[in-house]
Chains A and B, each alone.
Chain A
Amino acid sequence: SRIRPLSLAGHVGFDSLPDQLVNKSTCQGFCFNILCIGETGIGKSTLMDTLFNTNFENFESSHFEPQVKLRAQTYDLHESNVRLRLTVVNTVGFGDQMNKQESYQPVVDYIDRQFESYLQEELKIKRSLHNYHDSRVHACLYFISPSGHSLKSLDLVTMKKLDSKVNIIPVIAKADTISKSELHKFKIKIMSELVSNGVQIYQFPLDDETVAKVNTTMNGHLPFAVVGSTEEVSIGNKMVKARQYPWGVVQVENENHCDFVKLREMLICVNMEDLREQTHTRHYELYRRCKLEEMGFKDTDPECKPVSLQQTYVAKRQEFLVELQKREDEMRQMFVQRVKEKEAELKEAERELQTRFEQLKRLHADEKAALEEKKRLLEEDQSSFSKRRAAAQLLQAQSLTANGKKDKDRKK
């Protein structure tokens, strides 16, 4: 529908609207989250320190991590009246394992987790989105080893898995080990490999005329060859951030030496807001869409008529409740079954015990009877023996008295 433009007869005052909006955002503060992926020791932490002109807490990681982990650290930075809540997420142990097949998974999981968190907040009934601490990854710096040849397969695989989830900005780390001519060839090789493998890296936006020119130029310098350093060396009468070698001094902020300044310009000064916007309107929306479709929500039913979310929700809920009920019934049945079985088992065992008991009882009775018999016999024996003994004693006594009489008689 065409809406008529109208001309104003004087100054109304709504030109202050962008300022009103920006002031509000300034009061609330901004969130920015950077993910650094790169091998151990490639210079991720140093680069972050150099970029933000500060000293983040850094832990030197070992090379013996069994799995890739992610370490997230959040900082509140203040510059003039702007408050930035910066979260730096570093990979730990990336590229150290023998088998790197699953190396990308923890990174993908982390990114998805942040989207999930936001989605859950967004779908809550009572939600507070404008107070929400946005932890979604806005920019992913992928550190490429300065081999001078080409990308590693780990690099390609990882970037391919991430390119639809996050804004990837590839950088060549430790660029002071590559000569200018090698660097030029290296960059061309990297970009062509990315293109031929269909990896979509972040392109600096060209829609705003104010920055289109500088962004176009910078897009042609990708990937940025960076050198990081927080140490200072005196050059002329100034102290500059640099790395000192016996053969010379590599100045971090000298554009002839490396692309650090370009990275800082693009990442922070020119496109920070665009990175945040792309994350929210493209990557997050894609995640949300996939998630909802996974759960069975659609905007149109098979006949292509628009379906309200409520209808779908109610239908899904019914389905879910029915499913729940079914599972409950199943479980109840299974429970009853198991109880019966157990009961049967126990009864069987009882019976068995009973039989054995009876058996043993009988055995016992038999033995007892046998023993009683023996006892009786023994007693019989005993009694007959005592009778015979008594008889024998009697006889003996009789014979004795008979002998005594005889003696007596003889003596007389």
Chain B
Amino acid sequence: MLHLWIEAAGELETDPLTLMEEREKKERGIMGQDQEEGGKTEGQPANMNSQDSMTENEENCVELCTEVEEKGKEKGMEEGELKKEIELEAEVKLELCQSIPGLQMSLIRGTDLFGYVGIEAILDQMKRKTMKAGFEFNIMVVGQSGLGKSTLVNTLFKSKVSRRSNYEEKISKTVKLHSVSHVIEEKGVKMKLTVIDTPGFGDQINNENCWEPIVKYINEQYEKYLREELCVNRKRRIPDSRVHCCIYFLPATGHRLRPIDVEFMKRLGKIVSIVPVIAKADTLTIEERQEFKERIRHDLVANGIHVYPQKEYDEDPEDHILNNRIRENIPFAVVGTDKEHQVNGNKVLGRKTKWGIIEVENVEHCEFACLRDLLIRSHLQDLKDVTHNIHYETYRVRRLTESNMDFGELGLPTWPLENGTRDKCESESHL
């Protein structure tokens, strides 16, 4: 639709009358679409949780029940005749709002429009605004040294976003977190990518509590965001440093989860979205890989570990089916590289060995492409949403209850009602 828009804006300068012509074009397009679909005229009462969300807000108001039945009849498409005749039968029950004097509410569902309005233009408007504002994404990689964490992230984002550790450096005594940010752009979409590395994890002789610095870091980011959100004078856009995704690297032992894996994922699965991957998967044959994955999935379930995408957060049946397919395939077995080689006349990313070239983006060789598609091409926004709507909210609930901060207690002034019913209303809001 974007190109239509630029057309319209350009034409506006020269000839204002063509605005109507554009609309007619669009209307024809929409109506044509509807003709193909056989005219979607059924009201959709099931989708919108209108009833519930209404009752949440105005408890004393009762919305009406409407049965809107529309029968779409289509007349032949004469030249210039673009209207669809729709018969509307609406049964409307109106109940006056009891607590708020002078306010009447009624709710009608599934009203269909007699013609093109232009509401769908909001999608473009939203897209433009978000592209202008840019995006932020924070990804954390956790795993022992030498599992290829930095290489994988560089392969994912096709650039040197993560600094590969210097081989001569000593292994650090504690887990240190190291975050690096870059701005990357693709087709007009700007993204501030932050990669948080965790050198030293799992490298000690005694690895007890090695997850603590990581848990601390994640909670600190939530805390930062919470503080900004609670300010009286808030920023227009609160900078988001919360960890949206944590990739956990499992060494390709071929056996099952180790105690450190279980401990880490158990604890962190509760506060962040974990995506486990099998690192350096080119040491496993396909059969070994399948068995390994099955055993890992079994171990995850046995230990009550929830990894992304979590079953409980599936929003609708479509999501559920899609995510089930993903859940049947995790953890993804990946191979990373930044070197290119010639295969069949094409340049591909791959690792060259004496026995062949492992093509990173070939789904028959490894599952890197699946991981990339999941993380970036299809579920990136969902990762951010899950972090914001679920993990962050969980943290917030915990913090506010800890500090005993219930704003309802302070008697947040409720709306003054007539005839001294204010006291009654205040007491109700405490419930």
Contacts and interface: CB of A to CB of B under 8 A. Distances in A.
Interface of A: 3-22, 24-27, 29-30, 51-57, 67, 69-85, 106, 110, 113, 116-117, 119-120, 123-127, 130-133, 135, 207-208, 210-211, 213-214, 217, 237-239, 253, 255, 261, 264-265, 268-274, 277, 281, 285, 288-289, 292-293, 295, 297-299, 308-310, 313-314, 316-317, 320
B50 A281 contact: no
Contacts of A25: 123, 126
A125 B397 contact: yes
A75 B111 contact: yes
Given A8-B184, A272-B119, 18 more contacts: A6-B183, A7-B159, A11-B158, A12-B158, A22-B123, A75-B107, A113-B415, A208-B129, A210-B6, A255-B16, A255-B19, A272-B121, A274-B125, A288-B234, A295-B412, A308-B227, A309-B405, A320-B409
B393 interface: yes
Contacts of A84: 119, 122
Contact of B189 (A15, A55, A207, A210): A15
A295 B410 contact: yes
A208 B183 contact: no
B377 A16 contact: yes
A3 B180 CA distance: 9
B192 A3 contact: yes
A106 to B, nearest CB: 6
Closest 5 CB pairs of A and B: A273-B125, A20-B381, A69-B102, A269-B118, A15-B187
A166 B412 CA distance: 23
Contacts of A317: 404, 409-410
Nearest to B107: A74
Nearest to A129: B389
B400 A125 contact: yes
Contacts of A130: 385, 389
Contacts of B372: 12-13
Contacts of B157: 8, 12
B209 interface: no
Contacts of B44: 76, 78, 83
B5 A76 contact: no
B108 A299 contact: no
Contacts of B173: none
B192 to A, nearest CB: 6
B205 interface: no
A126 B397 contact: yes
B422 interface: no
B410 A320 contact: yes
Interface in B359-410: 372-373, 376-382, 385, 389, 393, 396-397, 400-401, 403-410
Contacts of A289: 232-233
B186 A12 contact: yes
A82 B381 contact: no
Contact of A264 (B12, B107, B118, B125): B118
B160 interface: yes
A212 to B, nearest CB: 9
B145 interface: no
A11 B186 contact: yes
Contacts of B20: 253, 255, 261
B171 interface: no
Given A21-B381, A126-B397, A298-B232, A273 B50 contact: no
Interface of B: 5-6, 9, 12-13, 16-17, 19-20, 30, 33, 40, 43-44, 47-50, 53-54, 56-57, 79-81, 83, 88, 92, 100, 102-123, 125-132, 135, 137, 156-161, 181-189, 191-192, 227, 230-234, 236, 315-316, 338, 372-373, 376-382, 385, 389, 393, 396-397, 400-401, 403-413, 415
The residue among B54, B122, B156 with the most chain A CB atoms within 10 A of its own CB is B122
Contacts of A292: 232
A272 B19 contact: no
Contact of A8 (B111, B186, B397): B186
A211 B9 contact: yes
Contacts of A53: 113-117
24 contacts: A4-B183, A6-B161, A8-B159, A8-B185, A8-B186, A11-B158, A16-B378, A20-B381, A20-B382, A21-B127, A24-B381, A29-B48, A77-B112, A77-B113, A125-B406, A133-B53, A135-B57, A213-B9, A271-B125, A272-B122, A273-B126, A273-B129, A281-B236, A299-B231
Given A133-B50, A239-B83, A55 B88 contact: yes
Contact of A20 (B105, B116, B378): B378
B343 to A, nearest CB: 15
Contacts of A135: 57
Contacts of A110: 103
B158 A8 contact: yes
Contact of A52 (B57, B117, B385): B117
Nearest to A106: B102
A269 B1 CA distance: 12
Given A54-B111, A74-B105, A126-B397, A80 B376 contact: no
B403 to A, nearest CB: 5
B105 A72 contact: yes
Contacts of A29: 47-48
A5 B193 CA distance: 10
Contact of B412 (A3, A123, A208, A293): A123
Contacts of B49: 131
Contacts of A239: 81, 83
Contact of B40 (A30, A78, A124): A78
Contact of A18 (B40, B106, B130): B130
Contacts of A17: 130, 135, 189, 191, 380-381
B50 A85 contact: yes
Contacts of B80: 237-238
